[in-house]
Amino acid sequence: MRILLTGTTGYIGQSLLPALLKEGHEVICCVRDKNRFDLSKFPDAKLEVIEVNFLDRATLEAIPEDIEAAYYLIHSMATQNQDFQKLEETTALNFKDRIQHTKARQVIYLSGIINDQQLSRHLQSRKHVEEILASGTFHLTTLRAGIILGSGSASFEIMRDLVEKLPIMIAPKWLNTRSQPIAIRNVIEYLVGVLGREEVYDQSYDIGGPDIMTYKEMLLGFARVRNLKRKIITVPVMTPKLSSYWLYFVTSVSYPLASNLVKSMSVEVVCKKNNLQQLLNITLLPFETAIRLAFDKIQNEGVIASWKDALSTRVLHGGIPKLLNVPTFGCFKDTRQAEVKDVDKTLQKIWAIGGDTGWYYADWLWEIRGFLDKLVGGVGLRRGRKNSTKIHAGESLDFWRVLYANKEEKVLLLYAEMKLPGEAWLEFKITDHTLTQTATFRPLGVWGRLYWYAVFPFHGFIFSNMLKRIAS
């Protein structure tokens, strides 16, 4: 079957794509920026990548008319824009209008469980998107999921941060809200299973795992899997705003995402009964089994996707190509060089930079910079990296974004996503036996220039020693 996949670079999209290809389907992947899509992962697959921005109707003409089905996996909950509901409405309307002019018979939409009269803005928006898609001339199948458990999922990483960092948690009362988490493997089975099945056309289904648990029970269950002793005390006085800051500073989520999650977590998300599990013959994985499988993936460095790779700054929405040509006019540069005796070892160090490896010199200063970034609403260092030895364009790397990574050319180019009064690039390049490390900063006004002069003395010993240790 010829299938259109939206949200391809998102967590669910990256997990679903290999499953569709394994089933022998031909997949057309919609991405805003082809540079963020790593085609090398699928050398022999029936795969086509097209650039589409669902907020720009003109780009939708790239969607071929001969598609037979489409997956709608787009949401804007983590966006810095406060009016994410309007963005989701516009995106859904544009998608619907374009798909109606193709041969697609079925659209499959992954939404959230909606079974409470007082819905959060996030769930209200998901419901509204479902109504928009249902008004199309195609058949809509909606799968409504709650918390999704898998290596790289936002829910999993939040629980991991909380459990592994806090022996004792003073937590808000919404930790007593019930939910029905589901393993990512089961979500993918449902998404693939409903494809092309006429009996599920124009139907919506709640999907969840076999366990109904409070968020507190989930955290304690996570701790059991990790053999950690944890104590959780819930208090009724923590406001939604304070709860959001609690999540923001302890975990790796952005503040907008933390705020929207807190509002959603006060709503019970338990599945309404249906026959879809029996129809598709799916064996549901228990909560603790899903957590163990996720950690197996992490330990074997088999994480396919991470929610952290979602774009976090508006500047990057213009696409990576616009940032690849590092500017020179009106910029400050710090360029340093060192002789390299073993090129392969130095290249390995460059490709392992950040995350658990660190930055090779004065990691405590990098951590302070990450903490200060968090204080002003930035991403901080907690995103880490997805793989300890592999880097691809578009991935997040601590508070940087990978713009270009080519081992054959021996070039790695990073773009800063930390809060700055300007823009910053960091490049590592090996030519013959010389490593060149270049930090470029394009200031924004007077504050940008003052910032550069304030941090320049630190660059003197941080960048020089980092260069020496990478080259040695």
Q: Where are the domains of the chain?
A: 2-300, 320-471
SS3 state of residue 281: coil
Hey, what are 187's tokens?
A: 């979500």
Contact 287, 209 (CB under 8 A): yes
SS3 state of residue 360: coil
What confidence score (pLDDT) does residue 255 get? 67
What confidence score (pLDDT) does residue 391 get? 85
The span from the CA of 336 to the CA of 465, in Å, is 10
Phi, psi of 34 (to 5 degrees): -60, -25
pLDDT band at 431 (very low <50, low <70, confident <90, very high): very high
CA nearest to 123, candidates 1, 265, 317? 265
CA nearest to 145, candidates 290, 313, 293, 292? 290
Instruction: Tell me which CATH code domain 320-471 carries.
Output: 3.30.530
Q: Can you tell me the mean pLDDT for 404-414?
A: 91
Task: Please check whether the two domains, 2-300 and 320-471, share a CATH topology.
Answer: no
What confidence score (pLDDT) does residue 289 get? 93
Q: 2-300 architecture in CATH? A: 3-Layer(aba) Sandwich (3.40)
Question: What string of DSSP letters covers 413-441?
Answer: EEEE-S--SEEEEEEEEEETTEEEEEEEE
Q: Is the pLDDT of residue 114 over 90?
A: no
Q: Can you tell me the mean pLDDT for 156-162?
A: 82
Of all residues in the chain, the percent with pLDDT exceeding 70 is 88
Lowest average pLDDT, out of 138-147, 164-173, 279-288, 340-349, goes to: 164-173
Each residue's pLDDT tens digit, 42-63: 877 789 999 999 988 999 999 9
CA nearest to 377, candidates 246, 254, 217? 254
For the CA atoms of 145, 130, 47, 17, the dihedral, rounded to the nearest 10 degrees, stands at 0
Q: Which of 34-38, 161-165, 310-314, 360-364 is modeled with the greatest confidence?
A: 360-364
| Interior angle at CA 84, CA 191 and CA 161, nearest 5 | 70
Lowest average pLDDT, out of 106-110, 117-121, 307-311, 344-348, goes to: 307-311
The span from the CA of 172 to the CA of 152, in Å, is 25
For residue 455, the one-letter residue type is V
What confidence score (pLDDT) does residue 316 get? 57
